[in-house]
Structure 1
Amino acid sequence: MALRAFGVAAVLVAALGAGPAVAGAADAPAAAPSAQDVGYLQAAHQSNLVEIATGQQAQQKGQSQQVKDLGGRFVTDFTRLDQSLQQTASSLGVPLAPADAARQATKQLDKVPDGRYDRVWIPVQQAANKAATANAQREITSGSDPAVKQDASVAAPVLAEHAALLNQAASQI
C-alpha cells in the first residue's frame, strides 16, 4: 500500500512540481508577464484545484476526524488562494487550464480502500505541499510581476502551516 501512496504522490508531483511549459513566451511583448510568472500561475492553479478536490474527497472518505478536518481546511484555504490567483491571471491575460490534474488525483485516491485512505492521503498531501511550496518559493525568488509575487507570498505561509498540520497528522495516524 505504501507503494500506491508514492505512485499517487508521483502523479501529483509530476503534474504540479515541474511547472507547465509556456508556449510562445519568447514571442510575448515586453509588458507580458515573464515565463516564470506564467509558469507559477499555471502550476499553482493546478495545485489549488488538486488540493480542493482531494480535500473534498478527504471529507467524505477520511476515516479520522483529523483527516476530515484537514480536508475541509484545504478546501477553504485553497479556494481562497485560487480566487485571488485567478484574478491575477485574468488581469495579466494568462490562460489557466482546467482541472485535469485534480481529476487524475481524485481518481487515483478513489482506488484506495477506505480503511487505508488516511494513511495514503497524508503522504500524498505532503508531496503535493512540497511541490507547491517549491513553486511558490521559485516565484518569490525569481518572479518579476509584483501581483504574481504577492500571490506567491500570500500562499507561502498557508503552505507552511499546512505542512506542519500534515506532519502532525502523520505522526498521529
Structure 2
Amino acid sequence: MRGTVLAVSAALALAFTAGPSLAKDQGAAAKTFITKAIQGNMAEVSMGQLAQQNGQSDSVKQFGQMLATDHGAANQKAQAVAQQMGVQVPTEPSKKQLADYNKMQKLNGAAFDKAFAQHMVADHKKDIAEYKKAAKMQGDPAGDYANQTLPDLEKHLQAAQQLQKGGGKSM
C-alpha cells in the first residue's frame, strides 16, 4: 500500500512538473509561429504586388491581387495576436523571403508567370503544414489565428496549382 502511495505521489509530481514545461514549450512555439506568420504575410503581400507588376497573364495578376488583399488582412490579425501575446512584431520578411523576392523581381512576362506559380505552390504547401501544426495549439491565440487563416491558404494553394497547370496562364 505504501509503495502504491509513493508511486502515485511520484507520478503526480512528475505530471505537475511536466505541465508547466509543456506550456512553456507551446508558448515558445506559438511565439515563433506568429512571428513567422507575420513575416510570411508581409512576403506574400509583396509577392502579390510584384505579380501585378511583372506578371504577363491576367490570371497571375488577379492571383497577385488576391494575395495582397488576403495576406494584408491576415497580417493585421496576426499583428494583433502578436501584441496580445507580447511578441515583438517583425518589420520585414525573413532573409530567405527577401532573397526570393529579389530573385522574382528580376523576371518579367511568361518567365515570371511560370516561376511565380511554381514558387506559390511550394510556398503555400509549406505554409499550410506549419499552420496545421500551429492550429493544434488549443486555447492559444496563435492556434486560433492559424485555424482561422487555413481556409484562405488552402484556397491560395488551389489557385496557384491551377496557375501552374496552365503554365501561369489560367486560374
Residue type at the aligned position of 1:160: E
Could you tell me which residue of structure 1 aligns to residue 112 of structure 2?
Answer: 117
TM-score, structure 1 as length reference: 0.76
Deviation at 1:144, TM superposition (A): 4.8
SS of the aligned residue for 1:116 comes to helix
Tell me, in whole angstroms, the C-alpha distance in 1 between the residues paired with 2:39 and 2:149: 14
CA shift in 2, pair 1:94/1:144, >3 Å? farther
Tell me the alpha carbon deviations over residues 81-111 of structure 1, each in whole angstroms, 9 at most, x when there is no partner.
1100100101111112221434333211112
User: Can you list the C-alpha shifts for 1:116-148, whole angstroms capped at 9, x where unaligned?
Assistant: 00000011111111121111011012x255321
Give the structure-2-normalised TM-score. Answer: 0.77
The alignment covers a number of residue pairs equal to 144
Q: Using the alignment, how far apart are the partners of 1:149 and 1:110 within structure 2?
A: 33
Distance 1:165 1:100, change over 3 A: closer
**Aligned residue runs from structure 1 range 63-142, under 5 A:** 63-101=56-94, 102-141=97-136
Deviations 1:27-58 (A, max 9, x none): xxx79970111111011111111100000000
Give the number of the structure whose alpha-carbon radius of gyration is greater: 2
Structure 2 residue ranges without an equivalent (≥5): 1-22
Greater CA drift, 122-131 or 106-115: 106-115
| Structure 1, unaligned runs of 5 or more | 1-29
Q: Kindly tell me: are residues 100 and 165 of structure 1, through their superposed partners in 2, closer, same or farther at Cα, counting changes over 3 Å?
A: closer
Q: Percent identity between the aligned chains? A: 24
Partner of 2:87, secondary structure, is coil
Moved segments of 4+, more than 4 Å: 30-33
Structure-2 separation of matches of 1:38 and 1:131: 18
Q: Check whether the contact 1:40–1:139 (CA below 8 A) recurs between aligned residues.
A: yes
Q: Are residues 167 and 137 of structure 1, via their aligned partners in 2, closer, same or farther at CA, if it must alter by over 3 Å?
A: same
Give the drift of 1:168: 1.0
Q: 1:112 offset after TM fit, Å? A: 2.3
Matched, 1:61 2:41: no
Match of 1:19 in 2: none
2:154 is matched with 160
Is residue 117–residue 164 contact of structure 2 (8 Å, CA) maintained in 1?
Answer: yes
Instruction: Rate the CA distance shift 1:49–1:111 in 2: closer, same or farther, 3 A.
Output: same
Q: Counterparts of 1:150 and 1:75 in 2: how far apart (Å)?
A: 22
After superposition, the CA RMSD in angstroms is 2.0
